Amino acid sequence: MRRFLKTNMAIALLMTAASAQAEDVEVLHWWTSGGEAAALNVLKEDLESQGIGWTDMPVAGGGGEQAMTVLRARVTAGNAPTAVQGLGFDIVDWAKQGALANLNEVAAKEGWDKVVPEALQKFAKVDGRWVSAPVNVHSTNWVWANKIVLDENNIEVPTTWEEFTAAMDTLKAAGITPIAHGGQPWQEATVFDGVSMSVLGPDKYKAAFIDLDESVLGGPEMKEAFDRMAVIRANVDDNFSGRDWNLATAMVINGEAGFQMMGDWAKGEFLNADKVPGEDFVCIRFPGTSEQVIFNADQFMMFDQGGAVSKEQSALASAILSPSFQSAFNVVKGSVPARTDVSDEAFDKCGKKGIADLAAAAETGNLFGSTAHGHANPAGVKNAIYDVVTAHFNGEYDSETAVMELVDAVSIAK
Amino acid sequence: MSYAKQDTAIRTGRAVRIIIYLVLLLFALFYLLPLYVMLVNSVKPLHEITGGGMMNLPSGFTLEPWVKAWKSAQIGVEPTGLSPYFVNSIKMVVPAVVISTILGALNGYVLTKWQFKYHKIVFGLMLFACFIPFQIVLIPMAKMLGLLGIAGSTSGLALVHIVYGLGFTTLYFRNYYAVFPTELVRAAQIDGAGFFKIFWRILLPSSGPIAVVSIIWQFTNIWNDFLFGASFADANSQPMTVALNNLVQASHGVKEYNVHFAGAILAALPTLLVYVVAGRYFVRGLMAGSVKG
Amino acid sequence: MSNADFKTRLQNWLPKLVLSPSLLLMLVFVYGFIAFSVYLSFTDSRLLPSFGLVGWENYSKLWRLSHWKISLTNMGIFAFLYIGICTFIGLGLAIFLDQKIRAEGMLRTIYLYPMALSFIVTGTAWKWFLDPGIGLENVLQSWGWSSFEFDWIKDRNYAIYTVVLAAVWQTSGFVMAMFLAGLRGIDNEILKAAQMDGASNWNLYRRIIIPQLRPAFLSAFVILSHLAIKTFDLVIALTGGGPGRATELPATFMYSYTFSRNQMGIGAASATIMLMTIAAIMVPYLYAELREKK
């Protein structure tokens, strides 16, 4: 017992010693799965080579929701971490609270304004101040298809909604589940991103979900969007409810299902199963949205540590935006770099397509924030939309009621 | 006093006894089922699990998931496994359980043997505090810990658990001491024994059973707590449950269910141990205290 | 003041002195925080607390949300069934275990152990078990009972009952322990006397034993209702509130509005209503309990 106590005390002493070191960055994040964490380790080692320690503070759960709760407690206690993984409007909200540091100096030195797409800058640069460092750009209007299943059933890659429904019918007749889907609100909303874009088109998508224009939210196209959701609902298996997204991806990998609508993080599942893009599976844009990219981006917000940006924070920010890290990390993560000047050499076929799509969309004004992932509207509205989409998908509302409820829910949450 | 004696006066016939045994065994199965699912899947290779057959025995037995969960699973950026967090949990749980139990015992003692005018109201206030939903205290608690300068520390976490455990420990000890003969206390008082001496010499020696109840209750709740641990710990004090959650909830990527289950059982081992070892005293303690009027 | 005098005074004050730290902690950390939360419910707080008063707006928004009504209805169903079934199973098992059962110690431990596990992962085990694709339905069908169906967790009209099932699994053993303790405390002489008079076992239980378990019933009720109100991890792990919103409870609602949706004002309003409901149930009970005893 005594020895046990002694060891305990030694450990406690070691820990205080470690935390007393001045040059540490404490990083709150939710990337705890093998690949992501390993990629983040690259960043850690980079910093350590500059003599900056990394104190890891991982809190997983709910796509970052748990971490955001923790963040709130930490900020309230006056004990904010140095850097925090953040998404879309959460970053803007924190910046508006005056909690974030000003990274303009390092941004100017490294020319971020020129290389980061403008649509993304809206979430990294608030009121003229860079407050966070973007790590990647994900996109949600992807469809993942099992190529062998498509070939066996003589299905061409669908490019319109009509071709897509025809493909679903063919698969159903062949006894294959047309769509692999996991019944969780965020997954249904992710599908809704692509579906609503395909019906509304870019202008009305912006009017409805970014400007929250009630006439479009309650308009006839929105009903059509919900009708399409109902078609998709009719093409999933009976057992979809509550399924994790990666299990749905596994259904496509195993050939039990034909398609899955999911963000580009799904690619990692295919690669882990030794599937080759273009041969075993294909990545296509949701039919009718081939020119648009609906994005969400992970960033690291830098929290104000008493006035100035610390040396460690600018070192971290600069390391995050370095082309080598952007490439290394995003190859693993399935996303594409947050700066447009990174070589696509290390990426696979889908990654290359993602990079090209992003550049083209940014060029033509077709890059829009994802409703499902908090890049179109603030958390309250986002979740209000989840409520309606998921209630409709699960048969609680018909399309007409859903449209009415959508207008109502958004107005309460605004 | 003799506690959990097994002789009820009820007599039952052979047929009835068979039915009773059957029902008891059926329920035992019901309670064991999830543990079976967890155990059996924690010793299978991953492909056997994803291939279906949740209830099947493993065809390729392996202990690798257990080793991985303990030593090398990815919790944060480094593959540390659950082991470093175990120490954090112990450092938080032990003081919190000990202090809240001692305070509960003293409160129970005062509230039964040294009653004053408003003792019932005070007890009512403490009891009602058991019902506060923890989600609403997160923000003000964070502020308070910040003001006290113990935000993100193990002592801060311990304080939180002491505060929200006090209602229960006070309830247990109060009900236990309520049936303890007050005459003994009065007699000792007449002999000139003081407040603490009476507590130490007279009440404490017979408090074993209820202390067990209080310790089991507090230990289980604090060890399993996730919300406070996640919100009020920082990188150096994150408890086991937060690490387990990081292991299980990893957002993207392959879910290693076998490692998850192994980790879950590892995380639960201390509480399971407490239940198995102290379980028999638990019923005695409950009997002697909290369920009596 | 003489030394002895001081000592007596100290002795008089000591009990209150000993009690005061606990009382102070309670007043600040429980009642202070409740007051703070009630105050927040009248403000425009969103991401963090802010102090612009908005009157009853949060409450009127709250009652317009179908989400809130769903969680209240679910709470009613859940609390009623959970408390009822736990009490029934707990009492039944306790009575059966009290019949000089061999291996009682082992059975008791088996019944009790679920309390020791956290739902972060037992939730996953339950989720699999209830999932028709890989769980019970699949297993029984593969054993040849092809017409067997059990897909409640996927059905929004029945999903809340699966939450009840898992919750009962976790705590009914604990309730059993409380009743068993109560049974062991009953005086055998009365029973023997009644047996002499020819009372059947059924009547012994109905007339003599169960009425004597009243304190155990009350303790069980307090513990169970407190657990029912706080049920949170279980729902998150088992159904995540789904299918759709079919298994949302007030605790998940409050957490979601306060922390995920950045609508702290509405979250605080729901917390206030929850607390008032708890008070409406508990205060009369506490009052009766505390008055009865001397």
Give the DSSP per-residue string, C29-69.
IIIIHHHHHHHHTTB--SSS----B-TTHHHHHHHH-HHHH
Sequence letter at residue C29: F
Q: Identify the CA nearest to B268 among candidates B42, B77, B64, B99.
A: B42
CA distance A298 to A148: 33
Helix (H) or strand (E) holding A258: strand A257-261
Cis, bond preceding C243 (omega within 30 deg of 0): yes
Same-domain check for residues B50 and B110:
no
How would residue A369 be classed by pLDDT, with cut points 50, 70 and 90? very high
pLDDT of residue A5: 44
Count of CB atoms within 10 A of residue A14's CB? 11
Q: Identify the CA nearest to A380 among candidates C139, B243, C61.
A: C61
Q: Which residues of B touch C191 (CB under 8 A)?
A: 8-10
Count of CB atoms within 10 A of residue C192's CB? 10
The CATH code of the domain that includes B276 is 1.10.3720.10
Q: Contact, A397 vs A406, CB < 8 A?
A: no
Its pTM stands at 0.86
Q: Which residues of B touch C232 (CB under 8 A)?
A: 135, 227
Same-domain check for residues B38 and B167:
no
For chain B, what is the mean pLDDT?
85
Least confident of A295-299, A406-410, B206-210, C118-122: C118-122
Better-predicted residue by pLDDT, C11 or A209:
A209
Strand A367-369 to strand A293-296: parallel, antiparallel, or no bridges (unpaired)?
parallel
Of B139, B238, B252, the CB nearest to A265: B252
How would residue C4 be classed by pLDDT, with cut points 50, 70 and 90? low
Residue A43 has pLDDT above 60, yes or no: yes
Which one of A90, A240, A387, A397 would you mutate to disrupt binding with C, by most C Cβ within 10 Å of its Cβ? A387
Mean pLDDT of B140-165: 91
Sequence letter at residue A231: V
Mark yes or no for CB contact C156/A396 under 8 Å: yes
Q: Contact, A282 vs A157, CB < 8 A?
A: yes
Residue range A302-354, pLDDT digits in tens = 998 876 778 889 999 999 999 999 998 898 888 999 998 999 999 999 999 99
Name the closest residue on chain C to residue A182, using Cα atoms.
Answer: C243
CA atoms within 13 A on the CB side of B216: 28
Percent of chain A with pLDDT over 90: 69
* Residue C84 near chain B (CB below 8 Å): no
Q: Identify the CA nearest to C181 among candidates C288, C286, C108.
A: C108
Chain A from 238 to 297: CB within 8 A of any B CB? 244, 246, 250, 265, 268-269, 272
Backbone φ, ψ for residue A160 (5° rounding): -125, 165
- Conformational region of residue A207, where left means phi above 0, alpha means psi within -120 to 50, and beta covers everything else: alpha
Partners of A130 in the beta sheet? Answer: A125
Mean pLDDT of A289-299: 94
Helix (H) or strand (E) holding A368: strand A367-369
Residue A200 has pLDDT above 50, yes or no: yes
Q: Which domains does chain C have, with CATH numbers?
A: 65-292 (1.10.3720.10)
Percent of chain C with pLDDT over 90: 32
Same-domain check for residues B129 and B170:
yes
Q: Contact, C65 vs A412, CB < 8 A?
A: yes
Helix (H) or strand (E) holding A145: strand A142-146
CA distance B33 to A36: 34
Same-domain check for residues B112 and B208:
yes
Residue C54 in tokens:
């908005």
Sequence letter at residue A281: F
Residue A18 has pLDDT above 50, yes or no: no
Residue A2 has pLDDT above 50, yes or no: no
Residue A328 in tokens:
């290394």
Q: Contact, B253 vs A334, CB < 8 A?
A: no
Q: Which residues of B touch A270 (CB under 8 A)?
A: none
Residue A142 has pLDDT above 90, yes or no: yes
pLDDT of residue B48: 81
Count of CB atoms within 10 A of residue A127's CB? 8
Residue B106 has pLDDT above 90, yes or no: yes
Outline where A263-302 has alpha helix (H).
267-272
Overall residue count recorded for chain A in this entry: 414
Backbone φ, ψ for residue A17 (5° rounding): -60, -45
Q: Contact, B8 vs C191, CB < 8 A?
A: yes
Name the closest residue on chain B to residue A63, using Cα atoms.
Answer: B251
Better-predicted residue by pLDDT, C26 or C204:
C26
Mean pLDDT of C159-175: 92
* Residue A35 near chain B (CB below 8 Å): yes
Same-domain check for residues B98 and B44:
no
Instruction: State the residue for tokens 């070589």.
Output: A343
Same-domain check for residues B201 and B57:
no
How would residue B251 be classed by pLDDT, with cut points 50, 70 and 90? low
How would residue C124 be classed by pLDDT, with cut points 50, 70 and 90? confident
- Residue range(s) of every CATH 3.40.190.10 domain in chain A: 22-137+296-358, 139-295+364-413
CA distance C234 to A408: 30
Residue A203 in tokens:
């202008």
CA distance A303 to C200: 74
Count of CB atoms within 10 A of residue A112's CB? 23
Cβ pairs A/B, distance under 8 A: 133
Same-domain check for residues B141 and B195:
yes
Residue B292 has pLDDT above 70, yes or no: no
Of A15, A41, A250, the CB nearest to B78: A41
Residues with Cβ < 8 Å from B14, sequence gap 6 or more? none
Q: String of b and e for C194-216 (b: at least 16 CB within 10 Å)?
A: bbeeebebeebbeebbbeebebb
How would residue A23 be classed by pLDDT, with cut points 50, 70 and 90? low
Helix (H) or strand (E) holding C162: helix C159-184
Q: 3-state class of A52 per DSSP?
A: coil
How would residue A207 be classed by pLDDT, with cut points 50, 70 and 90? very high
pLDDT of residue C104: 85
Instruction: State the residue for tokens 């998404």.
Output: A87
* Residue A35 near chain C (CB below 8 Å): no
Residue B288 has pLDDT above 70, yes or no: no
CA atoms within 13 A on the CB side of C240: 22
* Residue C44 near chain A (CB below 8 Å): no
Q: How far is CA A371 from the centre of its chain?
A: 11
Q: Contact, A138 vs A335, CB < 8 A?
A: yes
Angle (nearest 5°) at CA B99 between B96 and B100 = 80
Same-domain check for residues B138 and B48:
no
CA distance C91 to C83: 12
pLDDT of residue B7: 61
pLDDT of residue B55: 76
Q: Contact, B69 vs B85, CB < 8 A?
A: no
Q: Contact, B162 vs B124, CB < 8 A?
A: no
Strand A132-134 to strand A298-302: parallel, antiparallel, or no bridges (unpaired)?
antiparallel
Percent of chain B with pLDDT over 70: 91
> DSSP for A321-354?
TSHHHHHHHHHHHS-EESSTTS--TTS-HHHHHH
How many domains in chain B? 2
Better-predicted residue by pLDDT, C52 or A197:
A197
Complex ipTM above 0.90? no
Q: How far is CA A133 from the centre of its chain?
A: 15
CA distance A29 to A51: 21
Q: 3-state class of B90 per DSSP?
A: helix
Q: Which residues of A touch B242 (CB under 8 A)?
A: 59
Better-predicted residue by pLDDT, C289 or B143:
B143
Angle of the B83-113 helix axis to the B182-190 helix axis, nearest 10: 70
pLDDT of residue B51: 67
Strand A367-369 to strand A142-146: parallel, antiparallel, or no bridges (unpaired)?
unpaired
pLDDT of residue A170: 95
Mean pLDDT of A283-305: 94
Q: Which residues of C touch B173 (CB under 8 A)?
A: none
Those chains having 3 or more beta-carbon pairs within 8 angstroms of chain B are A, C
pLDDT of residue C216: 82
Q: String of b and e for C111-130 (b: at least 16 CB within 10 Å)?
A: bbbbbbbbbbbbbbbbbbbb
Same-domain check for residues B25 and B134:
no
> Domain span at residue B283?
83-288
- Conformational region of residue B7, where left means phi above 0, alpha means psi within -120 to 50, and beta covers everything else: beta
How would residue A6 be classed by pLDDT, with cut points 50, 70 and 90? very low
How would residue A38 be classed by pLDDT, with cut points 50, 70 and 90? confident
Mean pLDDT of B119-133: 86
Chain C from 230 to 259: CB within 8 A of any B CB? 230, 232-233, 251, 254-255, 258-259
Least confident of A116-125, A318-327, B27-36, B40-49: B40-49
Q: Which fold has domain A139-295+364-413?
A: D-Maltodextrin-Binding Protein; domain 2 (3.40.190)
Q: Which residues of C touch A94 (CB under 8 A)?
A: 47
Mark yes or no for CB contact C240/A184 under 8 Å: yes
Residue B1 has pLDDT above 50, yes or no: no
Count of CB atoms within 10 A of residue B26's CB? 10
Q: How far is CA A252 from the centre of its chain?
A: 21
Mean pLDDT of A372-399: 93
CA C268 vs CA B227, C231, C252: distances in Å: 18, 18, 13
Residue A212 has pLDDT above 50, yes or no: yes
Residue range B68-98, pLDDT digits in tens = 889 888 777 778 888 899 999 999 999 999 9
How would residue C200 be classed by pLDDT, with cut points 50, 70 and 90? confident
Residue range C55-70, pLDDT digits in tens = 899 999 999 888 899 9
Instruction: State the residue for tokens 């605080």.
Output: C268
Backbone φ, ψ for residue C292 (5° rounding): -55, -50
User: Is there a domain that residue B78 lies in?
Assistant: no
Q: How far is CA C30 from the centre of its chain?
A: 19
* Residue C290 near chain B (CB below 8 Å): yes
Better-predicted residue by pLDDT, B157 or C219:
B157
Mean pLDDT of A282-298: 94
Same-domain check for residues B43 and B110:
no
What CATH architecture is A22-137+296-358? 3-Layer(aba) Sandwich (3.40)
For chain C, what is the mean pLDDT?
86
pLDDT of residue C56: 92
- On the 0-12 / 13-18 / 19+ scale of CB atoms within 10 A, C35 is exposed
Mark yes or no for CB contact C259/A387 under 8 Å: no
How would residue B10 be classed by pLDDT, with cut points 50, 70 and 90? confident
Helix (H) or strand (E) holding A53: strand A53-58
